[in-house]
Homo-oligomer: A and B are copies of this chain.
Amino acid sequence: MSSEKSISLSHGIVRQDRKLSDGRTISYYDSKSIVREAVDSRPVENRPGLGELRLDALTNEWVVMAAHRQTRAFLPPKELCPLCPTKPGLQSEIPESSYEVAVFENLSPSLAIAASNWKLPELDGLNTPVVDAAGFCEVLCYTDDHEANFGTLSLEQIRIVMEAWRDRTREISKLPHIAHIFPFENRGVEVGVTLHHPHGQIYAYSYLPPRVEKMLKVAGDHFAKNSRPLISDIIAREIKDEVRIVAQNSDWIAYVPFASRYPFEIHIAPKVFTADLAELSDAQADSFGTVAKEALQRLDGVFGIEMAYMASWHQAPVNVGRDVLGLHMQITSIRRAPGKLKYLAGSESAMQAFIMDMKPEQSAAQLRDVKI
């Protein structure tokens, strides 16, 4: 295979790239010395076509139309899990019979590589043309253990995931047309998970998503006025106020934000401003796991159940705002009580006006009170 390559990353982690039968690349990230040479022997299937980007003229926001995704895998039984390693009777997405961390392009991507002359149109209201949904979507499998969770991975395993996040951010930044890279995890059927295997995703957009555009504007204005990144001042307030801190070490802090939008919401940020995952120092990368694990264990401990959550990496866009918009992870849970979920209903969905049923200080106290 011409595209095979092996690359040494930090912390002794090695990435090996292989091809799946339909041409997609799979990258293995290993801390142990092992040659990844299993061949994907599944029949070649046609890749789905590109979706469309259409402009919502009421808001000047792009909406991705990805009609081919309607048939994607939906809660398959464990024996048919496409993210488990390949084994007798199961040819999964991952040809190897075991792996540490594996990343591959999504089989039904919302956003995919477009023609080299693709260009995001200038916004022109109702006259804005429809274009291919350029971008890139990957699946990041945290472990080959179907029953594991991110929060219960070992620190060593989280370090490999972190190295994969850093490397993917660097690599995807080099692809054409990419404006913003968004690694995230949805956990739990309550938030629409369609595959139980512990995994995250990476969406790389060819446009600035509305929330990023807004955060960029606000952070830019703050920087212009105060000559400091907004996230740095936010962290300074959290350290001063103390009451919303959930966990911290020398490099990272986890806190419930001052104006949280969900019954349980935790932000995890590096204490020193960092634009994105690729720019984290090795020391920061090494020390993320202890704070992340503690935050997630506290989250699961509040009601003694696995909490449904979304974990989202906010980072600076690829080409703009690198000095003002800082890396942080936003973990949100819609569970407000053991039998009750918070729904994004009328006010949140149609008005984007969030109503919180719990004070952040109360939620932070509940998280801190968990015995771990």
Residues of A within 8 A of B (CB): 54-67, 69-70, 74, 110, 125-126, 180, 182, 184-186, 191-193, 201, 203, 205, 209-212, 214-215, 218-219, 222, 225-226, 230-231, 233-234, 237, 257-261, 310, 312, 314, 330, 332, 336-337, 340-347, 349-360, 362
Contact = CB atoms under 8 A, between A and B. Distances in A.
Nearest to A66: B355
Nearest to A214: B59
Given A125-B222, A192-B342, A358-B70, A210 B259 contact: no
A205 B347 CA distance: 10
A346 B259 contact: no
Per CB-CB distance, the 7 closest pairs between chain A and chain B, nearest first, are: A192-B343, A312-B350, A209-B351, A184-B346, A209-B353, A54-B259, A210-B352
Contact of A56 (B191, B257, B332): B257
A126 B258 CA distance: 10
B345 A192 contact: yes
A64 B354 contact: yes
Given A126-B234, A211-B350, A356-B65, A336 B70 contact: yes
Contacts of A60: 214, 218
B65 A125 contact: no
A259 B57 contact: yes
B218 A59 contact: yes
Given A58-B257, A64-B353, A125-B226, 15 more contacts: A57-B222, A57-B259, A58-B234, A59-B218, A60-B214, A63-B356, A67-B357, A192-B342, A201-B346, A205-B353, A211-B353, A310-B345, A310-B350, A312-B349, A314-B350
A214 B61 CA distance: 10
Contact of A209 (B58, B70, B352, B358): B352
B191 A345 contact: yes
A357 B66 contact: yes
Contacts of A261: 56, 63
Nearest to A110: B355
B340 A69 contact: no
A191 B346 CA distance: 9
A353 to B, nearest CB: 4
Contacts of A340: 74
A69 B234 CA distance: 28
A208 B344 CA distance: 18
A360 B330 CA distance: 32
A184 B350 contact: yes
B357 A69 contact: yes
A151 B225 CA distance: 52
Contact of A125 (B126, B230, B345): B230
5 contacts: A56-B257, A67-B358, A125-B222, A126-B233, A344-B344
Nearest to A362: B67
A110 B205 CA distance: 35
Contact of A191 (B59, B186, B343, B356): B343
Nearest to A185: B346
A203 to B, nearest CB: 6
Contacts of A353: 62, 64, 203, 205, 209-211
